Amino acid sequence: MTDSIPVNVLTGFYQPSEGRVLIDGRSHALSSLDASVRLGLARTFQTIKLFGDMSVLDHVVIGLPAGSENPADEADALIDFVGLSAFRDYPASSLAYGHRRLLEIARALATRPRLLLLDEPAAGLVQEEITSLIDVIRALRRSGITILLIEHHMDLVMAVSNRITVLNYGIVIARGTPAEIQSNAQVVEAYLGPSHVYA
């Protein structure tokens, strides 16, 4: 639960004015999204960025590394993973908003990342779509991919996170497990409200 600046630095959209980006203990200058992808980082965007009327399949194929042996098969597996098999040949522009979010995740996964950065993936989703998103993120966790989630939807954060860092106006006010976070007085005051209770 923070803003998008760390994601934009890690993916080459912003250049840091100070400090270093360390990956596997080595400092890297990430000057572009392509440079971060080559190091195993992939992202989605708070504002959905898809390619017009390109099909769902083509969106995922385009994310695969050059020289992939069976790109259509690999893309199909990712499309199935996020639950969009029925829309394989549809243009992205025809998808419901929540399905577009899932397509962005499938396209990011096509780069075979070690770290997936999800920037406000629940923004604009209704509860049914958020439930589907929770299922996808939990499945990704089980697959071994590390996920950095930036999100203000507290139910989603609590449902999928191992560790949470909470920022309030750019200042870290808490770090811990979901249980620790939801009982933290500063977090309750800033985000949850005194009557907020999680089952």
Could you give the CA distance from residue 125 to residue 110 in angstroms, rounded to a whole number?
23
Q: What is the pLDDT of residue 152?
A: 87
pLDDT score, position 196: 54
Predicted pLDDT of residue 2 = 45
Q: 3-class DSSP state for residue 154? A: helix
Q: What angle do CA 30, 35, 37 make, to 5 degrees?
A: 120
> Which structure tokens are listed for 141?
């966790």
pLDDT on residue 192:
66
Compute CA 46 distance to the chain's CA centroid, rounded to the nearest angstrom: 9
Q: pLDDT means per 10 residues in the chain (199 residues)?
A: 70 82 84 86 91 94 90 97 97 95 96 94 94 96 94 92 91 94 88 57
Q: How many residues does the chain have?
A: 199
The whole model's pTM is what?
Answer: 0.87
Q: What value, to the nearest 5°, has the Cα angle with vertex 95 and ends 147 and 4?
A: 35
Q: Domains in the chain, please, with CATH? A: 5-161 (3.40.50.300), 163-199 (no CATH)
